[in-house]
Every structure is written in C-alpha cells, then in structure tokens.
Amino acid sequence: MKTLLNKMDKKLNFKRAKAHCDVPCGIYDPIFAQIYALTVVRMVDLLEEHVKIKEKDLEYYNKMSRLIENKEEHAEKTKHEIRIIWGDFIKPTHKEKYPQIDNLVHSIMVLASESRQHVSKKLALELVSKVNEFAEIFWAIKGEKTIRAKAPYAPNLELVYRKL
C-alpha cells in the first residue's frame, strides 16, 4: 500500500485533476435537477388548485398528502443532483472562471429547503431559475451551446437545454 501511496503522490496533481472522472464520472447532466425543480412548481400549482376544494373527505386528504410528499421528494432530489455535479464535476479552475458558483449552489440548497417548508410558487420559480442558471454554467464548461425552450409538460416553464 505504501508503494501505492507513493505512486499516487507523484501523480497526484495530475490524477486529482481527473479523479472524478472514474466513477460515476463522465455522465453528468443537469436535466435531472431541472426536471425535479420543475416538478416542485407543478406540485405547488396542483396544491393551490386542490386547496380550493370545499369538502374535506378522504380523497381530499389523500391527494393533499401525496402532493406535499411529491413536492418534498423532488425538492430533495434537486439538491442531491446539484450537490453531485458541484462536488464531483466542478473543479477549482471552474470556480476561478465562475466565482459565483458556490453561492449559486448554496442558494439552490436554500431555495429547495424553503420550497419544502412552504407552498410558494415564488420560491419554486426561483428554484427553477437558479437551477437553469447552474445548467448554463455547466454546459458552458463542457463547451456546449444552450438554448431556452419550453418544457413539454405543465407548467411548461422555460428550461435551459443543450443545443443539439
């Protein structure tokens, strides 16, 4: 093992630079986080529609409970996906070029938590907006062009897509 450590020490600068490309590296895509964030908005929309129902019967509670749970789950998944890309893909050199990225990622964590704590279209839209911003930086780092296009499912918000 010592030999290994020594061998690694010699190559560490170089190795480190590509370290995250072993596993699960290579295949990062912000589209996961973008669709999850969009789903948070969708759940808020459905909740705001649902709460108007007057009769508080089993169907009411069942759907209320499921919408909240789905909002929770997708806000959490948004955070998880962004954390992976930030932790495994973003390197110090990227931070130099995009010094705002740590704050951006932190704000996504904050907005996703707030989107769990509240039922707020405003917060959920801000979450999508920040995740889109992250996607733009990600694709720029990868050297890919992006465009904005409406998602093909409600709430049909604009998402940042890689240009094909």
Q: What residues numbered 54-113 form the site for its own copies, per CB under 8 A?
A: 57-59, 61-72, 79, 83, 86-88, 90, 95, 102-104, 106-107, 109-110, 112-113
H-run or E-run covering 17: helix 2-18
User: Rounded CA gap, 85 and 82, in Å?
Assistant: 5
Tell the residue number behind the tokens 């290994």, with chain if given: 4
CA distance 54 to 45: 17
Candidates 30, 75, 124, 126: give the one binding its own copies (CB under 8 A).
126
Establish whether the linkage from the previous residue to 24 is cis, with ω within 30° of 0.
yes
Rounded to a whole number of angstroms, the minimum distance from the CB of residue 107 to its own copies is 5
Contact set for its own copies, span 136-155 (CB under 8 A): 142, 144, 147, 149, 152-154
- Which whole-number Å values give the CA distances from 45 to 49, 99, 156, in the listed order? 6, 34, 12
Least spacing, CB of residue 10 vs its own copies, in Å: 11
- Chain residues 8-37 in contact with its own copies, contact rule CB under 8 A: 8-9, 11, 15-16, 19-20, 22-24, 26-29, 31-32, 35
**Does the protein bind its own copies through residue 160 (CB under 8 A)?**
no
